[in-house]
Amino acid sequence: MNFAVLVFPGSNCDIDMYKAIEDTIGQPVDYVWHTDGDLSKYDCILVPGGFSYGDYLRCGAIAQFTNVMKAVVKAAEEGKYILGICNGFQVLTEARLLPGALLRNNGMKFRCHQTLLRVENNNTAFTRDYAEGELIEIPIAHGEGNYYCDEATLKELQENNQIVFRYEAGNNPNGSLDDIAGISNKAGNVVGMMPHPERAVHEILGSADGKKMFTSILSAWREKHDAAAIR
Ligand SMILES: NC(=O)CC[C@H](N)C(=O)O
């Protein structure tokens, strides 16, 4: 399975993401620069955290216009797996691959600490190795992680089971609507989340609870491809 880690000017979690793939599932992984418009060889595209284009205008607002994001939109339509973490989540909402927006944290402060998340939907390619309702410890590091969408969109997210992660009750660090920490698109192949699973893949980092996201992606992909090979 081939992984791409996108790199924009200002990305700063690209190396962590690359290492997380190497360390957890040992699959081929490349950095792909923002000017590159061809993602055809990749099965999963990882949009890492950071401060793309210095967070000018809004976080993720400029990255959406790059060649590589045009290729991401195409890859999403083809059903490939796309995972955006933190700034990557912001980029995916700006590119309209995920609904809603990430506003300034309600306390107006950059928050950087462990959070307790509940796996609300383990029926996705990104979370299948977790139990439904499992509590996991994953760090956050953001100034604009306050998820917001209109009422109709929230209802749709709830009804379609698109809320993948919530901050555990009483632990919402940023004012996110409905305690939302991560969502998927309707088809389930695009996920965005503010917490950083790639920073939680070894006990020495404080938690290894992020590992199962990467093992999930690989096992979902293998299952799909084995099934295709049998047909
Ligand atoms: N770690 C990150 O990706 C930070 C995201 C974004 N620049 C923010 O502060 O909200």
Which pTM does this prediction carry?
0.97
Does the structure show a pLDDT above 70 at 231?
Answer: no
Summary mean pLDDT of the chain: 97
Type of residue at 49: G
Q: Output the pLDDT for position 219.
A: 97
- Six-digit token string for 79: 């059903």
Question: Among residues 13, 86, 142, 144, which one is catalytic?
Answer: 86
List, for residues 119-140, the tens digit of each pLDDT value: 999 999 999 999 999 999 999 9
Q: Output the pLDDT for position 227.
A: 78
Atom of ligand 1 nearest to the CA of 85: 3
Domains of the chain: 3-230 (3.40.50.880)
Q: Measure 57 CA to ligand 1 centroid, in angstroms.
A: 14
DSSP 8-state assignment for residue 201: S
Question: Ligand 1: which residue has its CA nearest to atom 7?
Answer: 51
Sheet containing 135-142, strands listed edge to edge, beginning at the edge strand earlier in sequence: 29-33, 3-7, 44-47, 81-85, 190-193, 180-184, 163-167, 111-119, 135-142
Q: Which ipTM did the prediction report?
A: 0.95
Contact residues for 224 (Cβ-Cβ < 8 A; gap 6+): none
Atom of ligand 1 nearest to the CA of 50: 3
Answer yes or no: 159 catalytic.
Answer: no
Rounded Cα distance between 67 and 89, Å, is 18
Q: Which residues of 175-208 are buried (b: 16+ CB within 10 A; e: fewer)?
A: ebbebbbbbbbeebbbbbbbbbbbbbbeeeeebe
Q: Measure 141 CA to ligand 1 centroid, in angstroms.
A: 6
Pocket, ligand 1, Cβ cutoff 6 A: 49-51, 55, 59, 86-87, 141-145
pLDDT band at 226 (very low <50, low <70, confident <90, very high): confident
Contact residues for 225 (Cβ-Cβ < 8 A; gap 6+): none
Q: 161 with 123: CB under 8 angstroms? A: yes
List, for residues 147-169, the tens digit of each pLDDT value: 999 999 999 999 999 999 999 99
Does the structure show a pLDDT above 80 at 230?
Answer: no
7: three-class secondary structure by DSSP: strand
Answer yes or no: 86 catalytic.
Answer: yes
- Which residue carries 């890492």 as its tokens? 48
Rounded Cα distance between 177 and 148, Å, is 6
Answer yes or no: 34 catalytic.
Answer: no
Does the structure show a pLDDT above 80 at 211?
Answer: yes
Atom of ligand 1 nearest to the CA of 49: 3
